[in-house]
Amino acid sequence: MSAESEILTRYSRVAVVGAGVIGASWAAVFLAHGLHVVVNDPRDDAASVVSDYIRKAAPALKEFGLPADNLPRKMRFERDLERAVADVDVVQENGPERIEFKQDLWARIGRVAPTHALLLSSSSAKTATEQALKMEKANRLLIGHPFNPPHLIPLVEVVPGEQTDSNAVTDAVAFYKALGKVPRVLRKEIQGFVANRLQRAIFRECCHLVLEGVVTVDELDDIVTSSIGLRWAADGPFRSFHLGGGPGGFPAFFRQFAPGMEAAWKSQAPVTLDEKAQTTIIEQAEASFAANSVDKLESERDAKQLAILRALASVKEKGTTA
Ligand SMILES: NC(=O)c1ccc[n+]([C@@H]2O[C@H](COP(=O)([O-])OP(=O)(O)OC[C@H]3O[C@@H](n4cnc5c(N)ncnc54)[C@H](O)[C@@H]3O)[C@@H](O)[C@H]2O)c1
Q: What is the pLDDT of residues 34-44, one digit of tens each?
A: 999 999 999 99
Q: Which residues fall within 8 angstroms of residue 87, CB to CB, at 6 or more apart?
A: 13, 114
Lowest mean pLDDT among 72-76, 78-82, 108-112, 218-222: 72-76
Please work out whether the CB of residue 22 comes within 6 Å of at least one atom of ligand 1.
yes
Tens digit of each residue's pLDDT (9 = 90 or more) over 59-74: 999 999 999 999 988 9
Residues ≥6 apart with Cβ < 8 Å to 39: 15, 16, 19, 23, 27, 46, 47, 50, 75, 76, 77, 78, 84
Over the stretch 242-275, which tens digit does the pLDDT of each residue have?
999 999 999 999 999 999 999 999 988 899 999 9
CATH number of domain containing 267: 1.10.1040.10
Listed residue (104, 96, 153) closest to 122, CA to CA: 96
Indicate which atom in ligand 1 lies nearest the CA of residue 97: 41
Q: Are residues 32 and 161 in the same domain?
A: yes
Whether 320 has a pLDDT exceeding 80, the answer reads no
Helix 249-266 × helix 237-244 angle, to 10°: 110
Supply the residue whose CA is at minimum distance from atom 11 of ligand 1: 94
Q: In terms of residue numbers, what domain contains 241?
A: 195-291
Indicate which residue's Cα is closest to atom 37 of ligand 1.
43
Ligand 1: which atom is nearest the Cα of residue 125?
43
What's the distance, CA 229 to chain centroid?
17
The mean per-residue pLDDT over the stretch 143-149 comes to 97
Beta-bridged to residue 118, according to DSSP, are 90
One domain, residues 160 and 12:
yes
92 touches ligand 1 (CB under 6 Å): no
Same domain, 147 and 206: no
pLDDT given at position 321? 64
Please tell me which residue, 155 or 315, carries the higher pLDDT value.
155
Q: What's the pTM?
A: 0.95
Give pLDDT, residue 288.
92
**How many A from CA of 19 to the centre of ligand 1?**
7
Asked, for residue 210, whether it belongs to a domain, the answer is yes
Whole-number pLDDT of residue 156:
98
CATH code, domain with 22: 3.40.50.720
* Average pLDDT over the chain, rounded to an integer: 95
